[in-house]
Chains A and B, each alone.
Chain A
Amino acid sequence: MKDLIVTLIPVFPLLGFLILGLGFNRIPKKLASLIGPGTVLISFILSFIIFVIIAAGSRRGVQTWPVTEVFNWMTFGGLSLSFSFYIDPLSALMLLVVTGVGFLIHVYSIGYMEHDQGYNRFFAYMNLFVFFMLILVMGANYLIMFIGWEGVGLCSYLLIGFWFRNQEFNNAAKKAFIMNRIGDLGFLLGMFLLFTTFGSLNYIDVFHNAKGFLPGTGVVTAITLLLFAGAVGKSAQIPLYTWLPDAMAGPTPVSALIHAATMVTAGVYMVARSNILYALAPATMTVVAVTGLVTALFAAAIAIYQNDIKKILAYSTISQLGYMFLGLGLGAFTGAMFHLITHAFFKALLFLAAGSVIHAMDGEQDIRKMGGLGSALPKTRWTFLIGTITIAGMPPFAGFFSKDEILSSVFTHSMILWVVAVTGALMTAFYMFRLYFLTFSGNFRGNIKQLQHLRDAEPVMMIPLILLAFLSVTGGIINLPALAGGSAWLHSFLGPVFADATPLLKGPVYFLDAQTDYLLVGVTIVYVAVMIVVAWSRFVKKSLIPDEATILRSPVARILTNKFYIDELYDLLFVRPSLWLSKVCHDVMEIRIIDRTVNGAGTLVVKAGNTIRYLQTGHVGFYVFMMVVGIIAILLFNLVI
Chain B
Amino acid sequence: MQFIPISYYLIFCSVLFCIGVIGVLIKRNALLILMSVELMINSINLLLAAFSTYLNDPAGQIFVFFIMVVAAAEVAIGLAIIVVIYRTTHSIDIDVLNKLKW
Residues of chain A whose beta carbon lies under 8 Å from any beta carbon of chain B: 613-614, 616-621, 624-625, 628
Contact = CB atoms under 8 A, between A and B. Distances in A.
A27 B51 CA distance: 83
17 contacts: A617-B98, A617-B101, A618-B97, A618-B98, A618-B99, A618-B100, A619-B94, A619-B98, A620-B33, A620-B94, A621-B25, A621-B28, A621-B94, A624-B24, A624-B33, A628-B21, A628-B24
A517 B32 CA distance: 121
B96 to A, nearest CB: 10
A624 B25 contact: yes
B87 to A, nearest CB: 18
Contacts of A619: 94-95, 98
Contacts of B8: none
Interface in B84-102: 94-95, 97-102
B88 to A, nearest CB: 16
Task: Tell me the dominant secondary structure on chain B's binding face.
Answer: loop
Contacts of B33: 620, 624
Contact of A625 (B25, B30, B100): B25
Contacts of A617: 98, 101
Contacts of A616: 101-102
B100 to A, nearest CB: 5
Q: 4 closest Cβ contacts across the A-B interface?
A: A618-B98, A618-B101, A620-B94, A613-B102
Interface in B11-69: 21, 24-25, 28, 30, 33
Most chain-B Cβ atoms within 10 A of its Cβ — which of A616, A624, A625?
A624
A621 B97 CA distance: 10
Interface of B: 21, 24-25, 28, 30, 33, 94-95, 97-102
A596 B33 CA distance: 49
Given A613-B102, A617-B101, 14 more contacts: A616-B102, A617-B98, A618-B98, A618-B100, A618-B101, A619-B95, A620-B30, A621-B25, A624-B24, A624-B25, A624-B33, A628-B21, A628-B24, A628-B25
B95 A621 contact: yes
A613 B101 CA distance: 8
A620 B25 contact: no
Contacts of A621: 25, 28, 94-95
Nearest to B21: A628
B85 to A, nearest CB: 11
Nearest to A609: B102
Most chain-A Cβ atoms within 10 A of its Cβ — which of B33, B94, B100?
B94
Contacts of B94: 619-621
Contacts of B95: 619, 621
Contacts of B99: 618
A618 B99 CA distance: 6
Contacts of A628: 21, 24-25
Contacts of A624: 24-25, 33
Contacts of B97: 618, 620
A520 B22 CA distance: 118
Contacts of A613: 102
A616 B100 CA distance: 8
A617 B25 CA distance: 16
